[in-house]
Amino acid sequence: MASLAEYEYSPDSNAQYGASWRQIYVDGESIDLLTTNDFPSDDPWSVDFREAVAALWRQTHFSDQSVWEFGVGDGRNLIVARGIRGVPLRKVHGIDIDDWRLDLAAGNLERTGISGETPVSLFHMHALDYLRALKDSYGNNSLKGVVLMCLPQSPEGGNSADTYDQSGLGRYRLWDIFGLSLNAAVLDNLQPVAHRETIALVMLSGRVPEEIRLDMLHTTGWSVEQEFGSLPVQQDPDTGIRYVEGYATEGVFWEVDEYRNYQPISTAEAIRRWEQCRAYGGGRDTLNVFHTVHEYLISPRKGLFG
């Protein structure tokens, strides 16, 4: 049985993990933080998710609330949730499977003053293990606050920020065809421990058709309260997309034409470009493939677990 032992983090530095200083903007002000090349601050997914977190901040959803983030990374989203001049958070819980990411998060939260005013608990464990341990220790309805989730959504990829480990997901593997197994497993296990007033912000890829995204949320016990849409974002070269061919031949990928307009391309063409980019070690500037991303503000469906 997993325990809720907090991670004892180490101070970070420029030399550790190949980290370097980058900037994000919070309330229009520039903030320096340490991050790594595998998940830079200007990553399109990251930028779009931070904008959704900022929208929740403007709606005061974080005011005097406890916040959990599954896949906390370098802590950038928690910094946005706090804001520059916002009401202090009640408590921060960061969960990640990579200990070095927790080290980066701890340092960034300390430098931005969050950990000086708000209790911070970091956990080096899988989100599923955390939720199961939370239920064993405190029972149902014990998690009250705001949850942030931007988890990997591909069964193939370059690192833990881009792909998920399929082992241990059991019956949730039926969602593998859509790259949603990890999200389905975490949401299904979060539902019973979530207090009825808990809300979660979940990011899902538009590589999956809308009806499938909504079905996964409904099946795992959640209601959509608000949706944040976006223009297409660029496909990450490190994230595999071959699995998409199993359910969608068209309608989920775009290219940017010479006039900077988005034009649809087939899934086969998107995969061909992605494979070519990977084969020649190209970066984003060589991959003209785009897809949408969608953030959903969700709440537990009433009556499922009392």
pLDDT, tens digit (0-9, with 9 covering 90-100), for 218-230: 999 999 999 997 7
Residue 241, in any domain of the structure = no
Give me 196's structure tokens: 């009825």
Asked if the model's pLDDT at residue 136 lies above 50, the reply is yes
Which whole number is the average pLDDT over 256-284? 93
The pLDDT value recorded for residue 13 is 56
**The pLDDT of residue 162 is above 70:** no
What distance, in Å, lies between the first and last C-alpha atoms of the chain? 25
The pLDDT, as a whole number, for residue 216 is: 97
Domain carrying residue 156: 16-234+293-300
Helix 181-193 with 210-219: angle, nearest 10 deg:
30
pTM, 2 dp: 0.92
pLDDT, the chain, mean: 88
Mean pLDDT, rounded, for 119-141:
92
pLDDT digits (tens, 9 = 90+) for 165-184: 666 788 898 898 999 999 99
Q: Is the pLDDT of residue 115 over 90?
A: no
Whether 5 is covered by a domain: the verdict is no
Question: For residue 306, what pLDDT is reported?
Answer: 40
Answer yes or no: is 280 within a domain: no
Question: What amino acid is encoded at 131 in this protein?
Answer: L
CATH code at 55? 3.40.50.150
pLDDT at 276: 95
**pLDDT tens digits, residue range 231-257?**
799 998 888 999 999 999 999 999 999
Residue type, 27: D
Least confident of 2-16, 108-122, 159-173, 247-261: 159-173
User: Is 305 a residue whose pLDDT tops 50?
Assistant: no
In a domain, 78, yes or no: yes
Rounded Cα gap, residues 188 and 172, in angstroms = 9
Give the residue from 151, 4, 158, 10 showing the smallest Cα distance to 71.
151
Distance, in Å, from the CA atom of 105 to the CA atom of 100, rounded to the nearest integer, reads 9
Is position 244 within any domain? no
- Residue 70 is predicted with a pLDDT of 96
The H-assigned helical ranges of 162-227 are 181-193, 210-219
- Give me the pLDDT at residue 170, please: 81
Pure H helices in 59-98: 76-82
Closest by Cα among 134, 193, 94 to 1: 134
Is the confidence at residue 64, as pLDDT, over 50?
Answer: yes
Confidence class of residue 163 from pLDDT cuts 50, 70 and 90? low
Q: In the chain, pLDDT over 90 holds for what percent of residues?
A: 61
Mean pLDDT of 25-49: 80
pLDDT, residue 67, reads 97
pLDDT of the residue at 166: 67
Work out the average pLDDT over 84-91.
Answer: 79
Q: Which letter does DSSP use for residue 157 in this model? A: B
Contacts of 12 (CB under 8 A, 6+ apart): 19, 34, 103, 104, 106, 107
pLDDT reading at 17 higher than 80: no
Q: Between the CA of residue 257 and those of 248, 267, 282, what are the distances in Å?
A: 22, 17, 19
* φ, ψ dihedrals at 136, nearest 5°: -65, -35
Residue 112 lies in a domain: yes
Residues near 259 by Cβ (< 8 Å), separated by ≥ 6? Answer: none
Q: How many domains does the chain divide into?
A: 1
Question: Is 30 a domain residue?
Answer: yes
Compute φ and ψ for 245, nearest 5 degrees.
-60, -15
Question: In the prediction, which pLDDT does 165 show?
Answer: 66
